[in-house]
């Protein structure tokens, strides 16, 4: 059983210089006499989901540290404390951010980068980045976004809901916002400026098309549904398809509030424990 709350790592904040500017990073380094056996890079969620996941990410890093695994947490270019404005963010820049963080771990820390841990939209981002970091052989997926177009539509609806009671502006639709993007104009949703280039990249995402290479192991963790929690039918079909294609995919449901979507701070000890156990098993088999 993982005991949450006890100190097991030293968080070390720093800025990593990249091609487009500095990335704000925090490296959680294991402390004590335990053997340092590898490192995990967190690929964050999108927009406000990123902020709502910070507590879970910190607790996950502490749990991994107890197992001798370091964790690098960073803000993508244009987000959080990193350089750039959100309107300057691009999918290909984020892919390069991941590559440079992996290179930092490989050059600086014992064991290099053992796995990418993607959260929500960070899952397809991590899987696409795997093509640029062939030495990384594992991906942990937390509540993956499987369809970028559906995800972006849901995000746009936040703006519609926020303006629903306003009578001084025309009623908006997601189709209207997509038309605006198609003309090369950015849109603003919940305080975030989304450039057409980034929106189009997200719109085109299909997780099923980002099948990992045969050498990559995947752990798929998803909030369970039903009386006996299980991952959704859509997710199970995707996982089964990857397995039939000869890929190694472990999947498991966890029971917890949707911490990535809620304002209040929620923690899933079950997800933290499942993730830590899977990473420990991965490193044992990589020896």
Task: Pick the last residue of a domain from 157, 186, 204.
Answer: 204
The dihedrals phi and psi of 63, each to the nearest 5 degrees, come to: -65, -40
pLDDT of 62 reads: 94
pLDDT at 7: 56
Confidence category of residue 32, pLDDT binned at 50, 70, 90: confident
CA angle 234, 220, 134 (to 5 degrees): 115
pLDDT band, very low/low/confident/very high, at 181 (cuts 50, 70, 90):
very high
* The total number of structural domains that make up the chain: 2
Give Cα separations from 232 to 140, 153, 213, 267 (angstroms): 17, 20, 24, 21
Residue 49 confidence (pLDDT): 94
Q: pLDDT tens digits, residue range 123-160?
A: 999 999 999 998 999 999 999 999 999 999 999 998 88
Instruction: Give residue 38's pLDDT band: very low, low, confident or very high (50, 70, 90).
Output: very high
Q: What pLDDT does residue 139 have?
A: 98
pLDDT at residue 30 above 70? yes
The helix (H) or strand (E) run that includes residue 193 is strand 192-194
Give a yes or no: residue 177 inside a domain. yes
Taking the alpha carbons at both ends of the chain, their separation in whole angstroms is: 24
- 245 with 211: CB under 8 angstroms? yes
Say yes or no to pLDDT of 59 above 80: yes
CATH code, domain with 270: 3.40.50.1820
Percent of the chain with pLDDT over 70: 94
- Outline where 190-268 has alpha helix (H): 196-203, 233-244
pLDDT of residue 31: 87
On whether residue 13 sits in a domain, the answer given is yes
Beta bridge partners of 11: 28
pLDDT score of 165: 60
- Boundaries of domain holding 169: 148-204
Is the predicted pLDDT of residue 108 greater than 50, yes or no? yes
The H-assigned helical ranges of the chain are 48-52, 54-66, 91-108, 122-129, 148-162, 174-182, 196-203, 233-244, 269-286
Cα 147 to Cα 154: distance, rounded to the nearest angstrom: 11
What does the alpha-carbon distance between residue 56 and residue 269 come to, in Å, rounded to a whole number? 9
pLDDT band with cut points at 50, 70 and 90 for residue 284: confident
155 and 219 in a single domain? The answer is no
Residues 224 and 267 in one domain: yes
pTM score: 0.93
Are residues 86 and 23 part of one domain? yes
Q: 157 and 194 share a domain?
A: yes
Averaged pLDDT score across all residues of the chain:
91
Same domain, 121 and 176: no
237 and 183 housed in the same domain: no
Same-domain check for residues 170 and 264: no
Select from 183, 204, 225 the last residue of a domain. Answer: 204
Is there a contact between 197 and 209 (Cβ–Cβ < 8 Å)?
Answer: no
Confirm if 177 and 156 have CB atoms less than 8 A apart: yes
pLDDT > 80? residue 287: no
Say yes or no: 187 and 225 in one domain.
no
Q: Give the residue-averaged pLDDT of 11-26.
A: 95
Q: Does the residue 200 lie in any domain?
A: yes
The CA-atom distances, in angstroms, between 173 and each of 45, 100, 167, 180 are 25, 38, 15, 11
Query: What does the pLDDT look like over 227-281, one tens digit per residue?
Result: 788 999 999 999 999 999 999 999 999 988 899 998 888 889 999 999 999 999 9
The closest of 226, 212, 275 to 62, measured between CA atoms, is 275
Residue length, the chain?
287
Are 48 and 90 contained in the same domain? yes
């Amino acid at each position: 059983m993982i005991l949450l709350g006890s100190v097991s790592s030293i968080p070390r904040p720093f800025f990593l210089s990249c091609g487009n500017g500095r990335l704000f990073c925090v490296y959680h380094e294991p402390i004590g006499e335990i053997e340092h056996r590898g490192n995990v890079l967190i690929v964050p969620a999108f927009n406000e989901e990123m902020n709502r996941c910070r507590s879970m990410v910190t607790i996950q890093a502490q749990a991994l540290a107890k197992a001798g695994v370091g964790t690098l947490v960073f803000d993508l270019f244009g987000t959080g404390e990193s350089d750039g404005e959100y309107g300057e963010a691009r999918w290909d820049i984020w892919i390069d951010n991941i590559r440079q963080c992996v290179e930092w771990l490989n050059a600086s820390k014992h064991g290099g980068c053992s796995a990418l841990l993607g959260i929500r939209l960070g899952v397809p981002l991590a899987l696409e980045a795997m093509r640029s970091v062939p030495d990384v052989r594992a991906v942990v997926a937390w509540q993956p976004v499987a369809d970028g177009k559906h995800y972006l539509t849901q995000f746009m609806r936040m703006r519609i809901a926020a303006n629903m009671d306003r009578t001084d502006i025309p009623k908006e639709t997601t189709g209207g916002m997509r038309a605006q993007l198609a003309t090369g104009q950015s849109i603003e949703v919940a305080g975030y400026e989304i450039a057409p280039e980034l929106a189009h990249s997200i719109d085109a995402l299909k997780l099923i098309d980002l099948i990992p290479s045969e050498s990559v192991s995947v752990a798929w963790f998803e909030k369970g549904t039903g009386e006996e929690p299980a991952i959704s039918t859509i997710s199970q079909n995707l996982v089964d398809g990857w397995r039939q294609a000869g890929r190694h995919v472990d999947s498991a449901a966890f029971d917890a509030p949707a911490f990535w979507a809620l304002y209040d701070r929620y923690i899933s000890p079950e997800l933290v424990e499942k993730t830590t156990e899977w990473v420990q098993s991965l490193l044992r088999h990589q020896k």
